[in-house]
Chain A
Amino acid sequence: MAAAPGMVVIGAGQGGLQVAESLRAEGWDGPLTLIGEEPQAPYHRPPLSKAMLTGAMDEAQIAIRGHEFFGKHGIELLTGLRVASIDRAARRVALSDGRILPYRGVALATGARGRPLPVPGAELEGVLSLRTLADAQRLRAALEGAERVVVIGGGFIGLEVAAVARKMGREVTVLEAADRLLARSATPFLADVFAGLHRAHGVTVDLGAKVVELEGRDGRVAAVCTADGGRHPADVVVVGIGIIPNAELAAASGIACDGGVVVDDCGRTDDPAIVAVGDCTVRRGAYGVLRLESVQNAVEMGKSAAAALLGRERPFTAAPWFWSDQYDVKLQIVGLSAGHDQIVVRGEPAERRFSAFYFRDGALLAIDSLNRPQDHMLGRKLLDRKAPLTPEQAEDPAFPLASLTR
């Protein structure tokens, strides 16, 4: 007898696990399968570029849930497997081992992969990227034996790796093709602060540095060459130049994709039986078109998408938030600063303990907090409640932000 159609979650990262957990929390008691390509049970990715790299945390400590959790909640966890195809007409998912799963609903949580460096030499030994636990273990081993580390790409992953490598005492250079750091994810104001932070820690930060070739010696990377004729010797090269959403399975199944699987604020694709969450998606909703790569995006979309699979409306409309740890700085970002026409600063910039508040026409858009977690957490409430904070209040250290969140 064929198995009863169940819920099939494709991708066992933070978003996929959240869908599975939320389906159970929302009352789904039928079959529930969570399929992951990596050999491990779902694990936390943020420590990969932080505590896992320094060795402060090991593999056993980053699992999101213990093994007995899955059995207890009737979640069939299949690891080391891929989904070969989705037959939407017959409502069946085919796995890479030949298994066929009939479905009532599918959640795509396929994540993303690092964008490959499109220059000669990118395949040399010692050229690494960071996306998975296996990547982190390779990178950690490589950093142990390295003297000179070149990071290609001044985004969050690259900067976090640079901070770790520098703390390990390595000579570190960050090469960024754009004229500033964090070009895709943060404001020029914040980018300058982080360029200053890294330089103060002895990192060479080269902006406008277009990598044209990686030079090898006996199959190992030896140097990174830039378009301006620069040559940066390296034992290890870390590539962090953005990601490509893993949307191929969705596209091959005929689901609408446009730089990611297209979803609404509830995680719904254009097939009512199929939702998608996290890094693999591009969301069209209350905030316009969003391509977010964050824990919050995975978790909150996971909750919304699980509800949607059960026919419930739970849109994810909270302000986006994100964090990054570099050296002794905890950066926390909430909101979307695009289009701001005014920045006011609260706190002590010289001590890297401040928040930058971004406004447009006097309305709060976003807050970047450095070592000011309270501003950040209150900021989430201010933005979600559209509290009428003025630039003058934000700038005034005596004004209690909490007075607007009660």
Chain B
Amino acid sequence: MAKITFIEHSGERLVVNIPVGWTVMQGAVQNGVEGIEAECGGSCACATCHCYVDEAFVDALPAPSETEEAMLECTAAERLPNSRLSCQLKVSEALDGLVLRLPEAQS
């Protein structure tokens, strides 16, 4: 399990325990985080699970794949240097304490 904090665009904070091996997106949608849409179900095909990673964790995450990199160019909200697609972030113990901010819009 890793404890991950989601900050909705409204400012609401949700702290969620996500099993290792799941994706951050899966843990979010199963636990009532509504700022993530994830239309494609985690196939890296829709760019609607966009999140901003807290600066302290940006370097702790594996770099985006080529596909994620390309899909990030097409997010509804502005892409920032700390933008990621949460369906591509695999949960590990190393992500315990991760803080993610959600954009105003996903689609």
A residues apposed to B, CB below 8 Å: 44-47, 50-51, 57, 60-66, 68-69, 72, 295-296, 299, 323, 325, 330, 332, 371-374, 377-378, 380
Contacts A61-B26, A64-B29, A66-B32; A373 near B71 (Cβ below 8 A): yes
> Bound state CA distance, A296 and B34, in angstroms?
19
Which B-chain residue is minimally distant from A48 (CB atoms)? B41
Q: What is the predominant secondary structure among interface residues of chain B facing chain A?
A: loop
Chain B residues with Cβ below 8 Å from A295 are 39-41, 46
Partner of A65, one of B29, B46, B74: B29
Partner of A377, one of B34, B66, B70: B70
Interface residues on B, range: 20 to 34
Give B35-57 interface residues, CB cut-off 8 Å to A. 38-47
Q: In the assembled complex, how far is the CB of residue A300 from the closest CB belonging to chain B, in whole angstroms? A: 9
- Is B73 in contact with chain A by the CB < 8 A criterion? yes
B residues apposed to A, CB below 8 Å: 22-23, 26, 29-32, 34, 38-47, 66-67, 70-71, 73-74
With A64-B41, A371-B66 known, 19 other A-B pairs at CB within 8 A are: A51-B42, A61-B26, A66-B29, A295-B40, A295-B46, A296-B39, A323-B40, A323-B43, A323-B45, A325-B43, A330-B44, A330-B67, A372-B70, A373-B71, A374-B73, A374-B74, A377-B47, A377-B70, A378-B74
Chain B residues with Cβ below 8 Å from A51 are 42
CB atoms of A68 and B32 under 8 A apart: yes
Query: What's the A-B contact tally at a CB cutoff of 8 Å?
Result: 68
Chain A residues with Cβ below 8 Å from B73 are 374, 377
Contacts A61-B22, A377-B71; A66 near B43 (Cβ below 8 A): no
Partner of A44, one of B31, B42, B44: B42
Which A-chain residue is minimally distant from B74 (CB atoms)? A377
CB atoms of A44 and B47 under 8 A apart: no
> Bound state CA distance, A72 and B47, in angstroms?
26
Q: In the assembled complex, how far is the CB of residue A406 from the closest CB belonging to chain B, in whole angstroms? A: 13
Q: B23, B73, B74 — which one has the most chain A CB atoms within 10 A of its CB? A: B74
CB atoms of A66 and B70 under 8 A apart: no
Q: In the assembled complex, how far is the CB of residue B75 from the closest CB belonging to chain A, in whole angstroms? A: 9
Partner of A62, one of B31, B41, B44, B66: B41
Chain B residues with Cβ below 8 Å from A44 are 40-42
Which B-chain residue is minimally distant from A296 (CB atoms)? B39
Chain B residues with Cβ below 8 Å from A61 are 22-23, 26, 42
3 closest residue pairs by CB, A with B: A44-B41, A377-B74, A374-B70
> Bound state CA distance, A61 and B43, in angstroms?
13
> Bound state CA distance, A374 and B34, in angstroms?
26
> Bound state CA distance, A46 and B73, in angstroms?
23
> Bound state CA distance, A72 and B12, in angstroms?
15
> Bound state CA distance, A64 and B22, in angstroms?
14
Chain B residues with Cβ below 8 Å from A65 are 29-30
Chain B residues with Cβ below 8 Å from A45 are 41
Q: In the assembled complex, how far is the CB of residue B13 from the closest CB belonging to chain A, in whole angstroms? A: 16
CB atoms of A332 and B45 under 8 A apart: yes
Which A-chain residue is minimally distant from B16 (CB atoms)? A66
CB atoms of B67 and A373 under 8 A apart: yes
Chain A residues with Cβ below 8 Å from B30 are 60, 63, 65-66
Chain A residues with Cβ below 8 Å from B45 are 323, 330, 332, 373
Q: In the assembled complex, how far is the CB of residue A178 from the closest CB belonging to chain B, in whole angstroms? A: 26
Q: B32, B43, B47 — which one has the most chain A CB atoms within 10 A of its CB? A: B43
Which A-chain residue is minimally distant from B29 (CB atoms)? A65
